[in-house]
Structure 1
Amino acid sequence: MSDAAAAGWPGLGPKSREQLAAVGIRTPGQLQACDAFEVYARIKARWPGASRNLVYALLGAQEGMDWRVIARERRTEVLLRLDAMGLAPR
């Protein structure tokens, strides 16, 4: 088990955790209490180059799933939600 997973941050590396802290999310509990898409939007506003993989990782961390499973199984759902928010890739 990785240090991040052991600390309650599965699938989120140091850079992602740093970005989360910069938008006010410093604990796994705080992340659990938030909408992953809104968190992604806040990060994307500060770091326009933030990858779509981050939203998969945020959802995965909240749901206890590997981000790659989220990407594979829920890609369409995620893209539609990002599109509705004006954050879908062009």
Structure 2
Amino acid sequence: MSDAAIDTLPGIGPVTQSRLADAGIRTVSELRSMGSVEAYRRLKFMLPRQVSLNAPYALEAALRGCHWLDLPQDVKAALQEQAKITDEAFRRGGVARCAL
């Protein structure tokens, strides 16, 4: 199943599939290897106004084969924290990697 198309996961519809493809994520194995948080980061930086906290929940739930409402509370809390960090980084904008 690792080379299966991303839309074979539960809850991944055509819009999410298209967005993930635009982010370079086309297979289940690609999503699984990077994880829901990194996939969320990519989507958030590509589409900041269209991607919400629902995205990491949906991606994580798809990887686990469940509905996002059934994610354990500790998993939801960890995803919320990572989304907050990502959102804050986005608001700060790019950071110079070196001083000239």
Please provide the CA RMSD for this pair: 1.8
Give, as a single letter, the amino acid of the residue that structure 2 aligns with 1:68: L
Q: Percent identity?
A: 30
Instruction: Give ranges in structure 1 of 5+ residues lacking alignment.
Output: 1-6
TM-score, normalised with respect to structure 1: 0.76
- Distance of 1:86 and 1:48 partners within structure 2: 10
The residue that corresponds to 2:11 in the other structure is 11
Aligned residues: 80
Superposed, 1:1-90 pairs within 5 Å as: 8-49=8-49, 50-70=51-71, 73=73, 74-83=75-84, 85-87=85-87
Give, as a single letter, the amino acid of the residue that structure 2 aligns with 1:75: K
TM-score, normalised with respect to structure 2: 0.69
Contact 2:53 2:83 (C-alpha < 8 Å) held by counterparts? no
Instruction: Give ranges in structure 2 of 5+ residues lacking alignment.
Output: 1-6, 89-100
Larger radius of gyration: 2
